[in-house]
Every structure is written in structure tokens, then in C-alpha cells.
Amino acid sequence: MLLFKKDRPQGPYDVVVIGSGLGGMTAANMLGRQGHKVLLLEAHNKLGGLATWFRRPDGKIFDISLHGFPAGMIKTCRRYWNADIANRIVRIKKVRFKNPQFDLETDFTEEDYKRILHEKFGLSSQVAQGFFDALREMNFYDRPETTIGELFNNFFPGRNDIVRFLLEPITYANGSTLEDPAIAYGIVFSNFMNKGVYIFQGGTDLMIELMKTELLKNGVDIKLHSEVEKILIENGKVVGVQAGGETIGSRAVVSNAHLLSTIFKLVGPEHFSPDFQKTSEQVRPNTSSCQVYMGLKQGESIPYMGDLIFCSKARQFSTEMLLNPAIEGQTFSFYYPEMRPHREQTYAVVSSSNARYEDWANLSSEIYQKRKQHLIDRALADLEELVPGVGRKIDFAEAATPLTLERFTRHPMGASFGTKFEGLEASKKLSEEIAGLYHAGSVGIIMSGWLGAANYGAIQSHAVNTYLSLQEGVSHDTIS
Ligand SMILES: Cc1cc2nc3c(=O)[nH]c(=O)nc-3n(C[C@H](O)[C@H](O)[C@H](O)COP(=O)(O)OP(=O)(O)OC[C@H]3O[C@@H](n4cnc5c(N)ncnc54)[C@H](O)[C@@H]3O)c2cc1C
């Protein structure tokens, strides 16, 4: 049931899910489907978390995080959502790189990458094949200590151009750096290389609407505008949450809020063992993002340019360059009207760049506005180089910064992809520390992005289901 602002959730619940990002929604959907009494509480005025969009009065619509995900999302949506949602996932046709080292196009499959490595970068076919074989052999549980930088150095010593070709898209995708574990890169890159890059035909708004319908069909109670202030713990066990000053009893809680907010704000460090507190203090939030949303006037068009263009001016590639506030690199996502065949849509282009929160926090409002304008100017100038004449067709340009992300998601430091790699271990250990407490949401490089978050939500729903089943027949300390 969809609860309105004035409605009081009728607890106690089996599970309260805090936050409706793809991790939270997928966990809620699975638990609802399994017959549990589930309440999904979202602080914002719509579902989706970072899987979101915004509209402007003249009908322009912009997607925030619909740039591309691996083919695995089709299976995930079919299993944990429904066939209608899965069937709307389509492959994008063309990805382009434009930088001082190379300008090329690819369909982002392993075959095409191997061809380009050989034909354009002069690499022997054996070395290219060896690299992809090494990625395939990587196993998450082996946990080798090799970093991404070392992996590249083993296969392509001194080849900054090849590193750029292989890493730039993944760095844009989830903020990975050369210092991150190679295993994390290997899994994400192999996932993409499996069958190319996909998006949701119809846009984020349609996908979230279909997911909402499915949640309600599975009996999940949903309440928007409902920020959870506390997860309530008694005798080392979850007993409910406090939202809007009211207490709602539940046997288990799945938090889709950022992992660090979950531990340090919603629960409070005093409820955890000293060892776990120490582990959690070492978890780093992931980096953040800036975006510029550009909309074309009604009736104006641009030719098909490809769907994603990784564009940068830096002569050499470094992950630092992608974070630089001077915006040395940005990714352009092109949205053509065919993307939303069910509604009238003008052409839209969204530029994304990685960003550090500290470069944007604590600025005077004058400097902040100037920096935002710089983002917009830079995006328009770079886009003009790609599509000459586009500037006079654009009648809307607006920028978002790490502060925007922080405001809309409550994620510390506006983190775009949850935490760095070490977050996954802390997230998985929550239920060993406090009975009935689970976290589902972007953690590490693997469990992030649309696919990672949704899959992690499903994994955690199984753990919650097992916990609840073991509790059956036992009397519970829930608050009604
Ligand atoms: C600019 C940008 C571009 C991206 N592009 C891509 C892409 O192309 N492909 C891709 O796969 N991924 C992309 N991502 C990443 C992807 O969007 C995220 O990894 C994923 O959507 C995160 O899902 P999540 O489950 O972690 O929850 P989130 O989306 O982080 O949502 C968490 C939710 O919890 C709510 N919440 C927090 N605290 C509380 C509270 N106390 N009470 C109630 N509710 C609360 C928030 O309001 C939010 O709705 C992008 C991200 C960004 C920022």
C-alpha cells in the first residue's frame, strides 16, 4: 500500500527497509514476494535513490545515472523484478573515446576491444587475449593483493594510452583508481565486456514506476517523505526504527542509507564491538560526481553521435586528472527522442565528471556559483567541438555538484558509488554485530552501480529471509 504523509504505518513489520535506491527496492521486493510484511521508508519525494531523473516545466527530462550498465542487469531484473522490466533493457550502439592520445569508436565488447588493441595500439593478439584470460580467471574469494596499476603494468608496461582505453570508462563508472584492487576492476570490466553496455528503454522514470507497481503488487508498504532518524536496538538485536519522531516495530531492518551513515548515525558506534568500530572507521566513502544537464529547444535535433563519449583534453591519462576540478575529462551521454517512445521528448545531453567533495564544500556562495558556471561553460564548449553548432540549439543548462548529491541522498561527501572496496566487508558483517541488521546498497566497486546495488539487495534479502525463518515461532521483542 502507498502510504501518504499523514498515514501512520501499521506495525509491527517483519522488515523495515530504509531507503529506496536499487539495493533497498530490490531487497524490499524480494522480501515482499516471500510473504514478509515489509515497510519501505524513503526520505525523498520519489523512489529510486540515485536511479533518478528530473523534469522541467517545458517537458524536458534528464536522467541522472542512466548512462550504461552491463548485460547482467537483464537477468537481475527478470529474476528479482519481472519480465516486462527486463525486456525493456536495450544495448547501446556506440561508445566513443576522444582525447589527445586517440579518437576511436567501439561497441564495448571483448572482441572489439581485442581488435582495437591489436590494430590501433599495435599489441600482439596473444598479449590482448592473455589480459582478458587473466581477468576471467580472477576470483573474488582469492583476494589477490595486486592493484589495478600493477595489473596494467604486468601486461602493458609504459603504455599510458592502453591504460586510458581500458580504465577510463570504469573510472567514470565507479570511481576506481590505479590503487584499487585489481580484482574489483577485473570483475566490473569483464561484466561490461561480456556483451557491451545497456540502458533502460523508456528512461529511469518508467523503470521506477514499473518497480513501484511491482512492489505494491507484492504487498510492500511504501512511505515517501519519511526520513529514518534511528535504528532501534535492544539487547544486541534490532527492534524497529524511529522515523518522524514515531517508533515503528520490526524484526529486521535493511538499511539502504550509506554504510557509514548506517553505522555511525542511524545505529551509533556504541552498539558495535571495538573491532568492528575500528574496521568501520577505515571505510572510505567513494568519490562524488558533477553533472551538467543540457536540453535542446523544441524542434531542434542533433545527428546520431553515439550514446556515450569519453572526452578529455589531458595529454596523458591519470585517475587524478578525472577528479580535477578544472574538468580535464568528462563523459557525454546523448539521449535521443527514441529513448522515450511513449512520450514527447526533446534531445538531451548530460555531461558527467568525477569529483571530490572537498573541492566543493565550504566555498562562499559566490565562488560556488562561479564554479558551477565554469562546469556549464566547459561542458558547452567541449560539446560544441563534438557537435558543431549545438550551442545555439540548447536552451537549458544546469549543473549538479557533490553538494547536490549529498542533499538528495544524504550520502556523506556526496558519494556516488557508496564506499571504496573495504566497505563490502563491513557491510556484510553488520548482522554478526547486531541480530536482524542488514545493509544493502553500493559498497566497494563490485556491489555498486545499478547492477551491483540490485544484486546486493537480492543477496541481502536471502540473508534476511533466513534470519526471519529462524526466528519463526520464537517470541520477539518488537515494539508495536
Ligand atoms: C552521477 C552518477 C552517475 C551514475 N551513473 C551510473 C551508470 O551509468 N550506471 C550505473 O550502473 N550506475 C551509475 N551510477 C551509480 C548508481 O546510480 C548507484 O550505484 C546506485 O543507483 C545506488 O543504489 P543504492 O542501492 O546504493 O542506493 P542509492 O541510490 O544511494 O539510494 C539510497 C536511498 O536511501 C535514501 N535514504 C538515505 N538515508 C535515509 C534515511 N535516513 N531515511 C530514509 N531514506 C534514506 C536516499 O534518499 C536514497 O533514496 C551513477 C551515480 C551517479 C551519482
Which CATH number belongs to the domain containing residue 84 in this structure?
A: 3.90.660
Q: Is 178 found in the same domain as 118?
A: yes
pLDDT of residue 5: 85
Asked whether residue 102 is assigned to any structural domain, the reply reads: no
How buried is 155 (Cβ within 10 angstroms: 0-12 exposed, 13-18 middle, 19+ buried)? Answer: middle
Let me know whether 289 and 360 are in one domain.
Answer: yes
DSSP annotation of 307: S
- Going by alpha carbons, the residue nearest to atom 5 of ligand 1 is 65
pLDDT of residue 188: 85
Q: Is residue 30 part of a domain?
A: yes
Identify whether 14 is part of a domain.
yes
In a domain, 361, yes or no: yes
Say if residue 46 is in the same domain as residue 189. Answer: no
Under DSSP, the state recorded for 8 is: P
- Same domain, yes or no: 385 and 307: yes
Q: How far apart are CA 225 and CA 46, in angstroms?
A: 8
Sign of CA dihedral 123, 127, 130, 136: negative
Instruction: Provide the CATH number for the domain around residue 26.
Output: 3.50.50.60
Specify the DSSP element, H or E, that contains 350: strand 348-355
Q: Is residue 99 part of a domain?
A: no
| pLDDT for res 110 | 93
Of the residues 195, 217, 250, the one at which a domain ends? 195
Atom of ligand 1 nearest to the CA of 23: 25
Residues 84 and 141 in one domain: no
Q: Do residues 170 and 63 share a domain?
A: no
Whole-number pLDDT of residue 187: 85
Indicate whether 277 and 307 sit together in one domain. Answer: no
Q: Pick from 156, 173, 195: which residue ends a domain?
A: 195
Among 195, 215, 241, the domain-final residue is 195
Q: Which atom of ligand 1 is nearest to the CA of 411?
A: 37
- Whether residue 446 lies inside any domain: the answer is yes
Q: Say if residue 318 is in the same domain as residue 405.
A: yes
**Ligand 1 binding pocket, CB closer than 6 Å:** 18-24, 41-44, 49-51, 64-65, 67-69, 227-228, 256-257, 289, 291, 352, 405, 409-410, 416-418, 441-442, 448-451, 453
The residue whose C-alpha atom lies closest to atom 48 belonging to ligand 1 is 49
How is the beta sheet containing 329-335 ordered, strand by strand? 103-106, 95-98, 308-312, 329-335, 348-355, 288-296, 394-400
The pTM of the full predicted model, rounded to 2 decimals, is: 0.94
Going through 72-227 in order, the beta strands assigned E by DSSP cover: 89-91, 95-98, 103-106, 197-200, 221-223
Angle at 162 between CA 158 and CA 165, to 5 degrees: 150
In a domain, 98, yes or no: no
Give residue 24 CA to ligand 1 midpoint distance, Å.
10
pLDDT of residue 479: 44
Number of domains within the chain:
3
Confidence at residue 161, expressed as pLDDT on a 0 to 100 scale: 96
Calculate the CA 187 to chain-centre distance.
16
My answer on whether 78 and 127 are in the same domain is no
- If asked whether residues 290 and 405 sit together in one domain, one would say yes
* C-alpha cell belonging to residue 302: 542533433
- CA gap 436, 424 in Å, rounded: 18
Q: Do 32 and 128 fall within a single domain?
A: no
* Coil vs helix vs strand at 7: coil
From first to last of its 480 residues, the chain has per-residue pLDDT tens of 999 988 999 889 999 999 999 999 999 999 999 999 999 999 999 999 999 999 987 889 999 999 999 999 999 999 999 999 999 999 999 999 999 999 999 999 999 999 999 999 999 999 999 999 999 888 766 666 789 999 999 999 999 999 999 999 888 877 788 888 888 888 888 888 888 999 999 999 999 999 999 999 999 999 999 999 999 999 999 999 999 989 999 999 999 999 999 999 999 999 999 999 999 999 999 989 999 999 999 899 999 989 999 998 888 887 776 666 666 789 999 999 999 988 887 899 999 998 999 999 999 999 999 999 999 999 999 999 999 999 999 999 999 999 999 999 889 999 998 998 889 999 999 999 999 999 999 998 788 899 999 999 999 999 999 999 998 765 444 443
124 and 213 part of one domain: no
- Shortest-distance atom of ligand 1 to CA 41: 43
In a domain, 103, yes or no: no
Domain of residue 278 covers 2-51+206-284+418-471
